[in-house]
């Protein structure tokens, strides 16, 4: 028969119950108060070998499992005998009175005492005996389990037909271990090849190659690694470049024509690398790679005009149809005349790339399945980027610090738009489901442009974050009237830097509230440099303009200057649905600062204005306390 082992240790609740029963048994045995009957009547016996053992008078066998079980059975029998004797005494007493003709049904006091004593002693013996039996059987079971375990370890090939199970066998829902017949443990080399490749793909290539020294069977496993990453930034020394090139060539020779999922190289570009880079790109193309990444950007790139001329012609044909991700840095692109494109490409990242507007336009037009596009620090020499083919699948668009005069794309499914640079060169994005837009303006832009340009480019954005340094020297009335509107904007986050000359004009930011009729959450971070506390000033009374959907306002960097106070009072007064209002006096952008009278000014200005239903918090860092 097969070896059947125990199901494991008892549960914590079972162990606790068994400990309580054992303690009760030991206590009862130590006291061992029992009422016994002999021919001379009832005797009180109080004696136990445990007590003798403590004083050196012998050895108690009560703790032995077999003795405990036997003693329990005897005590059970004694208890039953006492109960039976009490019942017989009760019946005999009744018959005796019946025979004497007595009409009184009451038992004598002596009979009652004897019957009660028999019942108490009998019940006590039954309970204690039952506990002894249960504890003894459990102890014997544990000893048997230990013996079987020891025998199984000593003689693993000998079957022991014993199974200890005290409950119904449940179906084992745990996943089965994968192993071949006759193998006790699962070894890495026994795993399916696709699982090995997945594990190797999570390791750096250097660590993957090191596994070849573990054993002779592991010597060639690393060659199946589907992701090849070579990072020259982690290497140092005079011959760093030569060692990197040698490592790449050695690994390429070991692949034996296998399909590579990803081929990635990170090294600072030098002219002597051109031939090697061409060979590597050709290897990636012949290996039908899905992910190609070349990061050749040097640490100091601002004054370098050389670029690696990327051999895009090597990726034409079958190799182009396999590619799904391309990330290029510090390269120059020039498309061949018969370029067929990348029909399966989903992700394209271009960083420090030199190309003409037409080449980049043709490249993007050939990627009909593109979902993710990033263009950072790319030089188009001021050309326009116009993609005629609609990008129906494009979900993410990132444009930062590019020399592009105009960008025109049709991305109706766009979800996220990230931009960093001067004024937006992008035509209106008509995506109906644009969820997030993150705009960072380099240099100064006018307040009028921020208020009128953004709604035109992003009319349907739902969450907008804008970081800029905006001078507020405007010549319009306090609330600018503009036809531009954010039709779906619900969350607006502004990170603004102002000079001391803009302090009185901060109230004009209320124009953003009017341009977003569905706005629910407003978050503003102020960074006012050159600020000097001018004390309490008289606030201007501004016209009413209800913001019916505004529920939350958070203002950081609140110093209590006149324009801030006026904007705060206006926003709170005209927000009937306001639920949460938080004022933080600490500056959290730019040069961080703490300490101002902003908290006290905010509380004084809003006295009697804030609704009782609004949760009003002031984070006053001047006194490092949280005020409600």
* Residue-level pLDDT at 461: 95
**Is 616 among the domain residues?**
yes
d(C-alpha 586, C-alpha 598), whole Å: 9
What is the count of structural domains for the chain? Answer: 1
Give the pLDDT mean for 587-599. 71
> Does any domain span residue 587?
yes
| Cα–Cα distance measured from residue 456 to residue 451, given in angstroms and rounded to the nearest whole number | 9
Enclosing domain of residue 500: 490-627
Confidence of residue 537 (pLDDT cuts 50, 70, 90): low
Residue 520, exposed/middle/buried by CB under 10 A (0-12, 13-18, 19+)?
A: middle
Q: Which two tokens stand for residue 516?
A: 């977003």
Structural domain includes residue 227: no
Other beta carbons within 10 angstroms of residue 116's beta carbon come to 11
Instruction: Record the tokens describing residue 571, joined without a space.
Output: 């926003």
Has residue 508 been placed in a domain? yes
Q: What is the pLDDT of residue 221?
A: 60
Average pLDDT over residues 108-125: 74
Residue 212 in any domain: the answer is: no
Q: What is the distance between the alpha carbons of residues 571 and 36, in angstroms, rounded to a whole number? A: 92
pLDDT of 310 > 70? The answer is yes
Question: 151-165, 172-186, 575-589 — which one is most confidently predicted on average?
Answer: 575-589
Is 612 inside a domain boundary? yes
- In whole numbers, what is the pLDDT of the chain averaged over residues? 77
* DSSP conformation letters of 503-514: GGGGGGGHHHHH
pLDDT of residue 410: 87
- pLDDT above 70 covers a percentage of the chain that reads 70
DSSP letter assigned to residue 374: E
Smallest CA-to-CA distance from 3 within 150, 156, 182, 170 is with 156
Position 33 confidence tier, pLDDT thresholds 50, 70, 90 = very low
> Is the confidence at residue 478, as pLDDT, over 50?
no
Nearest to 37 by CA among 96, 92, 86: 86
Contact status, residue 363 vs residue 343, Cβ threshold 8 Å? no
Residue 582 has pLDDT above 90, yes or no: yes
- List, in sequence order, every residue forming a beta bridge with 262; answer none if it has no partner: 227, 291
Instruction: State mean pLDDT over 546-564.
Output: 92
The structure tokens listed for 81 are 């005998």
Q: What's the sign of the alpha-carbon dihedral 203, 207, 209, 212? A: negative
Domain assignment present for residue 601? The answer is yes
Distances from the Cα of 459 to the Cα of 421, 432, 451, 464, 605, angstroms: 20, 9, 12, 11, 34
Q: Do the Cβ atoms of 448 and 433 come closer than 8 Å?
A: no
* 25, two tokens: 């048994």
Q: Is the pLDDT score of 363 beyond 60?
A: yes
Nearest to 347 by CA among 364, 328, 372, 322: 372
Token pair listed for 597: 């009278």
Nearest to residue 279, comparing CAs of 325, 327, 245?
245
Give the Å distances, CA to CA, from 338 to 108, 317, 380, 532, 592: 123, 11, 22, 65, 56
pLDDT score at 280: 93
Dig out the tokens for 93 from the structure.
Answer: 């007493």
Between CA 618 and CA 627 the distance in angstroms is 5
Whether the per-residue pLDDT at 137 is higher than 50: the answer is yes
Nearest to 295 by CA among 249, 330, 252, 245: 330
The answer to which of 424-438, 445-459, 496-510, 587-601 has the lowest mean pLDDT is 587-601
pLDDT tens profile 60-103: 555 555 666 677 777 777 777 777 777 777 777 766 555 555 54
Inter-residue contact 398 to 378 (CB < 8 Å): no
Q: Which two tokens stand for residue 236?
A: 């140092």
pLDDT of residue 387: 83
At 225 the pLDDT is: 67
Q: Quick check: is 81 in a domain?
A: no
- Mean pLDDT is lowest, of 2-6, 317-321, 339-343, 512-516, for 2-6
pLDDT exceeds 90 at position 277: yes
CA 498 – CA 558 distance, rounded (Å): 12
Q: pLDDT confidence of 146, banded at 50, 70, 90?
A: confident
Q: Could you tell me the two tokens for 292?
A: 């190609």
pLDDT tens, position by position, 173-220: 555 555 555 555 666 667 776 676 667 666 665 666 666 656 665 656
Q: What is the DSSP letter of 591?
A: S
- Residues 6 or more apart from 250 whose CB is under 8 A from it? none
């Amino acid at each position: 028969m097969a070896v059947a082992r125990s199901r494991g240790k008892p549960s914590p609740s079972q162990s606790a119950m068994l400990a309580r029963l054992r303690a009760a048994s030991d206590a009862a045995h130590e006291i061992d108060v029992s009422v016994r009957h002999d021919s001379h009547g009832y005797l009180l016996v109080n004696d136990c070998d445990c007590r003798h053992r403590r004083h050196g008078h012998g050895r108690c066998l009560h703790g032995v499992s077999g003795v405990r079980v036997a003693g329990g059975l005897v005590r059970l029998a004694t208890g039953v005998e006492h109960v039976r004797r009490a019942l017989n005494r009760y019946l005999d007493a009744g018959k005796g009175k019946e025979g004497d003709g007595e009409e009184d049904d009451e038992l004598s006091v002596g009979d009652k005492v004897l019957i009660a004593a028999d019942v108490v002693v009998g019940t006590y013996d039954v309970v204690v005996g039952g506990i002894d039996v249960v504890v003894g059987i459990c102890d014997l079971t544990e000893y048997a389990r230990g013996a079987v375990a020891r025998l199984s370890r000593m003689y693993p090939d000998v079957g022991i037909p014993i199974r200890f199970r005290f409950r119904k066998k449940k179906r084992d829902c745990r996943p089965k271990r994968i192993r071949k017949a006759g193998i006790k443990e699962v070894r890495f080399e026994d795993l399916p090849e696709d699982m090995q490749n997945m594990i190797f793909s999570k390791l750096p290539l250097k660590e993957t190659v090191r596994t070849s020294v573990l054993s002779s069977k592991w010597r060639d496993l690393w060659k199946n690694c589907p992701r090849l990453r070579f990072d020259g930034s982690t290497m140092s020394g005079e011959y760093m470049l030569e060692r990197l090139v040698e490592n790449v060539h050695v690994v390429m020779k070991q692949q034996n024509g296998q399909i590579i999922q990803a081929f990635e190289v990170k090294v600072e570009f030098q002219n002597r690398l051109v031939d090697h880079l061409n060979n590597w790109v050709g290897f990636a193309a012949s290996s039908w790679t899905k992910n190609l990444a070349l990061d050749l950007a040097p640490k100091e790139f601002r004054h370098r005009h050389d670029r690696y001329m990327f051999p895009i012609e090597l990726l034409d044909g079958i190799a182009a149809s396999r590619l799904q991700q391309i990330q290029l840095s510090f390269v120059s692109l020039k498309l061949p005349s018969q370029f067929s494109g990348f029909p399966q490409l989903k992700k394209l990242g271009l960083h420090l790339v030199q190309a003409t507007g037409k080449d980049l336009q043709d490249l993007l037009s050939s990627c009909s399945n593109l979902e993710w596009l990033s263009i950072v620090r790319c030089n188009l020499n001021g050309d326009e980027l116009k993609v005629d083919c609609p990008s129906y699948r494009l979900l993410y668009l990132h444009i930062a610090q590019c020399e592009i005069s105009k960008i025109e794309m049709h991305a109706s499914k766009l979800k996220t738009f990230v931009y960093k640079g001067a004024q937006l060169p992008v035509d209106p994005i008509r995506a109906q489901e644009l969820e997030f837009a993150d705009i960072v303006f380099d240099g100064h832009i006018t307040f009028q442009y921020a208020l009128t340009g953004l709604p035109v480019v992003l009319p349907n954005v739902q969450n907008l974050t804008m970081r800029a340094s905006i001078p507020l020297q405007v010549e319009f009335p306090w609330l600018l009237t503009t036809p531009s509107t954010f039709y779906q904007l619900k969350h607006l986050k502004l990170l603004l830097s102002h000079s001391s000359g803009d302090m009185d004009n901060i109230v004009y930011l209320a124009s953003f509230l009017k341009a977003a009729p569905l706005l629910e959450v407003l978050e503003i971070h102020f960074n006012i440099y050159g600020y000097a506390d001018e004390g309490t000033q008289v606030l201007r009374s501004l016209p009413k303009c209800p913001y019916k959907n505004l529920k939350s306002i958070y203002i950081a960097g609140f110093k209590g200057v006149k324009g801030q106070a006026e904007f705060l009072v206006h926003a709170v007064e005209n927000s009937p649905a306001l639920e949460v209002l938080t004022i933080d006096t600490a500056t959290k952008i730019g040069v961080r600062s703490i300490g101002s009278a902003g908290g006290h000014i905010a509380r004084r200005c809003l006295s009697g204005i804030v609704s009782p239903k609004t949760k009003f918090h002031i984070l006053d860092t001047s006194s490092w306390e949280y005020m409600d």
